[in-house]
Structure 1
Amino acid sequence: MPFKSVALYPCNPATTRGQSTKLSSSKDKIVYTNGRTVIIRDLKNPTSVIANAGHVRDATVARISLTGYYCASADAVGNVRVWDIVGEDQVLKAEYKVLSGKVNDLEWDGESKRIIAVGDGREKFGHAFMMETGSSTGEIMGHSKVINAVSIRHQRPFRAATASDDSTIIFHQGVPFKFDKSIKTHTKFVQDVRYALSGDHFASVGSDAKVFLYDGKNGDTIGEFTDNPHTGTVYGVSWSPDSKSLVTSSADRTVKLWDVETKKNITTYTLGTSGLDSQQVGNTWTGGDDIVSIAMNGDLNIFDKRVGDKPSRILHAPSKAITSALPTGTSTFLTGSSDGRILSFNSPEDGYDEVKGTGHATFIVGLKSNATSSGKVYSTAYDDKVKEIDLNGNSFVQASCPTSSQPNSIAVSSDDTVFLTEANGSIEAIKSNQKLFESKLKFNPTSVAAAPTSNIVIVGGEDQKVRLNEWDGKTLKEVGVLQGNKGTVSALAFSPDGKYLAAGDSSGKILLFDVNERKLVTSRWSFHSAKITSLAFSSNSKFCASGSLDTHVYIWNVDSPVKNIGIKNAVPGGVNEVFWLGDGKVVGAGADACARVWEVSF
């Protein structure tokens, strides 16, 4: 094969303010959703990752069956998909429309035959059905508002508990599942409810900051955990594998470990110092005895109950769409996302790390460095700032430079001059946080690129033209125009030797120009069907990778323009960035916040 997938670096869970984020586990694997993608990752083996993007709408929750063979995942429009996780093809076993609105939670029974899905709907807020046939196995009744969580006792006789915004827990007998009693221990929204693996107890948590324990067989209330209680909404609760302890995660930025028999607080883990990002909005206790809690910013905090009062490690990764990326070595790179976070990827084992210091506040437009790799990276975002990142210290340089308008493209010349095209129709040049040049153009600029071996700066526009400019350190002077694109010029890239320029547009067409001779080399790179978002040449200048909103990645051959390698459906939701790690590996990243690596052979 001309290409093969060699790595997938997963995103972290997507979170929503004021809502519990459902995280589940099976042995050492944790399961969560982000956009349309369901992620299954092994905490003990970072290279073992499954990403399933079968949902048409955003996935909301996913759980693995007790047998470990299947995963059930649900989405924002009431669909539940059951798919195989043992085979590489992730074959779809069944798909059912169970609710008319968003599914907030689902649960397998102890025999991996039945599923209960709960959430929002017009006729009902929950549905119990057989995994094989979709036929009903009872009624989920008694709630007057959206159901937030469901849990099933895994031993016979089966029982189920559902938690709702109506401040009640409904206890169901089964099977078939039917209403047994309404439990009114909470005074505000009930965010989560979980059965112990033993089936002897279940616990609930809610917006009233309370944690309650119940008898697993009859639903009687045993008591409240009042020793050193939470002071904010409790979003998640999970049980230890031995069913003797439980863990809770709260908006008060704490994760608390409780002893079930004494109802005493054993350990309190405090995350962060202040702010929304450190709120804990969900958790799971893995079969490998790791406690995993999700922060509002998507970070996965992993705790070892035997060691200290801090996370044993933190898994950083993008949780929003990757909007820009930049290679920083043969196996390392930076990513910028739509929430303003910039992370550095170090290795499959170490994963991502946060770039230290005060960064951007919103959508990252671009990350660029000069061709000589001086250890400096420049970033710009919709907060109208240009910032410098010191790669050696993995940190932002304190000073920054404001832009005149919202930037839409960035380039860096060999002498570290930063060029920006902006929404107001201007182009700016900045160096050492000082503005050197600004000019209002006669067309709307949409993309910019700086030649690695000369003083040429290329500007693409909405008028479908590519303009060559010379930079003398003080001003830009137009010296030529390249034409042939059929849409707004949306992406530009120079080959490392400075000879070639690739120009992609909104129609999906890519033109290859010889910059020195200012002539068209080929116009046959036209297999994409949507806007070109990114272009990148290999270090030997012989191949060019392209990414598009059509979800595909193509590798084009400069010496033989008719030859190409197509990686179809490379990034679900659309490719925002492509780049090379060495000459043989291409990375694609985009809407699903994952980075995928392919090894390409020519």
Structure 2
Amino acid sequence: MHRRVHAAWQQSGVSARRRDEAEARGAAELVDTLRQSDPRTAAQLALAAWRVADLPETRAALRTAAAQSEQDVFTAPEEGGRAINAPTWLSRDGRTLTTLARDQVVQWDVPSHRRIRSVRWPGLSENVVDVSEDGRLVAYQGPGGAGLVVGVLADRSRHRLPTGPATGTDAAFGPDGRTLLVRRPVPGGDERATLTRWDLHRQRVSFHYEQGTGDGALPAQSRDGRYLAWCTDSGGQPRILDTAAGHLVNTPVPEATGRALCRGDELTFTADSRAVATATSTGVVTWDIRTGRERPRLPLAGALRVEFAGDYAVTWAVGSLTLWRPGLPAPADDSPREPLLTVPVDSSSVGDLRLDPAGVLRYRAQGRTDSVHTLSLHGLTDGAWRNRQAHSAAFDLRGRPVPVRKPATVHGEETVTVDPAGRTALTSEGTLVDIATGRRPEGLAGVQGEDYLTEAAFSPDGRYLAAADVQGRVTLWDARPWRRLAALRTGGSNRHAPALGFSADGSLVAADDPDGSVHVWETGAPALPPATLPVGDAPVLALGFTQGGEELHLATPHLADRALPLAPDRAARTVCARTRTGLGQTQWRRWFPSADYRRTCGP
């Protein structure tokens, strides 16, 4: 009797474990479908799946979650009922979202999702004109259209600007929030308008111009407040006004450049205020005001929006956001410039693009209800950036940078790697050669059935070999009987030899992709989908693992060493630090109907 009870208890435990594993695998498969629309839940779900069952599939999902570009999506709660297409504004640093619905102004701290203030302002929804980029001020038409009023959201104070009747008037705050640019049509002026800039602190006019254009978007304003730029309707040529000098810039814009600038939806200025730019169907066009020359174009088909911040530019085209460093030298081989990072987005309309100094990109996705998406920039804007591009790098078995060693040439044969013992080399044709004698070792087949090899790496214990050929195919081999275990990648770029690397115990193998990401497989289950780690600044020059496989180190042309968490416990801490909490019990039951609930973050 006791034996039957014990056997039944064991069988019950096995069944529960298999049930949990099935639910964990199912949850891990769903993570990718949530990553763009709800990245926080996606990361929490990956972590929960690993807590339920520690499997190759759940570990891959957790590693991907720890490194994913998508960090957060914030949609402001609707106070007082649903308000479709209500206007929203995102502050210059991307940290404050201002919403306006039914005369209620609500400001939110985007990183924490915390409400900052809520202000009732009668008549504002109908008459609002603009909110300053720092979120402090609101401009609106006064009662009965009598002039413009500027209000302070923090204390609700307000003052009227004597701008005259507001009918037909539009206005926008300056980038620093200290000025307000007002455009008023000239009666009978044949699309002509006046441009007036108000000093809000002194409440007086600081600049006035009589020859503005009344149609189209308001003139773009440079960050330093000196320049205004707009396009004329005749010939589509840009006009750039120097408000310090009081007249148009004398340097002529080349006709072709001018037409290209005015083909875009709106003009903007670079962060240094020295150039005006726009996004066009063929890329980003930038004209330098001081030199009178066009700067190198950023080649992006279908570009719809561009924003500059410091040394960087962010562009949006349908389907993706891209990060650029426009000041980088042109490629030596005359190939097109490449972005540092490309992130897929599924938003059909994108408003504000904001680079946060904390190293994240935020954008406002426009729709029936706007939302703010936060993306990691993977250290690409950190201070470790080097302007001089590197072309090679190497790491030792502890993941530390070391000098690069050139591939050995053995008795006239070109090799791609050498085994850990230093006795045998693998040639680009996939054959093995004894380094001392130059002979083919007997009984060792090498890599067979692959094209010309461009890169290869042995695991530190010599058991595994990863090899890449000229077609971009990457394969994993058991280097003892020389048997192919898996095709990790069936094809790719023939211009790029991927960086390859193994963890110290050979349990993990990594290879970079031409798109600027790194894939990590478990050698015990190489046929399963890998963890995907976006890194940017492609191509990856070298990959290295710390001694225990806790971190993956990588070198790219402009960043010498970045680290990504690989050990599940480290990846879990990274996810918890970002999401702050794990799945709640209600969410848990949705994804894990049978598995016992457990806390995934915190004690």
Q: Which structure carries more helix by proportion?
A: 2
Q: Shared fold by TM > 0.5?
A: no
Who wins on radius of gyration, i.e. which is larger? Answer: 2
With the length of structure 1 as denominator, give the TM-score of the two structures.
0.39
With the length of structure 2 as denominator, give the TM-score of the two structures.
0.39
Q: Which structure carries more strand by proportion?
A: 1
